[in-house]
Structure 1
Amino acid sequence: MLKSTADQTDGKWQMPEVSQALSESITFMSEDFEVLDLALRVSPELRFAAFILKLARAANIQYPVTSIDDIVTHIPSGRIGAAGHVVTGESLRIFFPREFLPIESQGDLLTKAYLTLLHCQEETNKVTGVDPVILDYIVDFINDLRAGVEH
C-alpha cells in the first residue's frame, strides 16, 4: 500500500476531515501508479502542484517556509511551465497569497500551490475569456509557426 510521505515526513499537515475519512477507505498499491497518473491528467493543476512539490523535495526545502523567496530560489532556470501555467519567481511573488505563509509542510505546500494555480486560472479566464490550457496551446502554436514548424 502506498502511504503519504507527507504524513511520514512532517506530521503538522492534516488532511480535511471529510477527505481524510474518504482517503482512509481507499488504498493504492504500487501497481496502481497508472491509475493515479490518469487521475492527475483529469486535473492538470493538481499535477503541476505535485510537480512543484517534487521540485521542493529535490531542493530539500526546509519547513516552515516563511518567505516565497525560499521557493523562488529553487525554480530551475527561473521558469517552469505546464498545464497551461507558467510559473516564474516574479509571478510567484505577485500571485502567491501572503496569507498562505507560512507553509508548514509538504502537504501544506501541495495544497497551497494547487489553490494558487486554481486562483490564477480563474483570474486568467476573467481577463481573457480563454481557458489557460487553450491559451497555452495557442501560444505554442504561434511559437511553432515562428520557428517554421508546420502543422
Structure 2
Amino acid sequence: MQTVRDDDGKRYVLVKRSGDSSRVRDPATGEERYLPNDDLTFEGVSPLVAAASGVADPVRRAVTAVHDERSLGLLVELVDRDAVSVVALLDAYDLCESDLHGLLGEFRAAGLLTETTVHGERGYAATEAAREAVAALRGGSE
C-alpha cells in the first residue's frame, strides 16, 4: 500500500490503482472512493502512519505512551486528580520509584503531563491533551 494526496492536499491510502482512476481510503473516516489518477500525487508516508492519522491527536499520543492497564490507570488518575506530587503518587500506587518516573517521563514526552509544584513538592499535572484523550477513551467528551 501507498499514500497519495489529491489536488486539495488531502491524504489518502491507495487501495487499488486502475487505468484512469484509483480506489482510495480516507484515514479519518475509513470511507473508500474512486479518484482520477491525474488528481493524485504519491507520497512517501507509511500507509500505517496515514491510517493512524485518522485518530485524534490526543488519543494517538495517549495510546502510544500507554503500555498496559497500570500505565493507563496512572494516566486516568492524573487526569482525575489534577496536580499530584511525586511523593503522593509513590504513596498511593503500587509502582516502584523507577517505574513511576519512567512512565511520567513517557507521558511528559508525549505532551500528556506537565511538571508543577504541589504543596512545595515536585509534581505533575495533566495537560489538556491528556484530558481530551481520557474523555475520548471513556467514550464521551468533557
Q: Which has the larger radius of gyration?
A: 2
State the TM-score bracket (shorter-chain normalisation). Answer: under 0.3
Higher helix fraction: Structure 1 or Structure 2?
1
Instruction: Tell which has more relative contact order, 1 or 2 (C-alpha 8 A, sep 6+).
Output: 1
Higher strand fraction: Structure 1 or Structure 2?
2
TM-score normalised by L of structure 1: 0.22
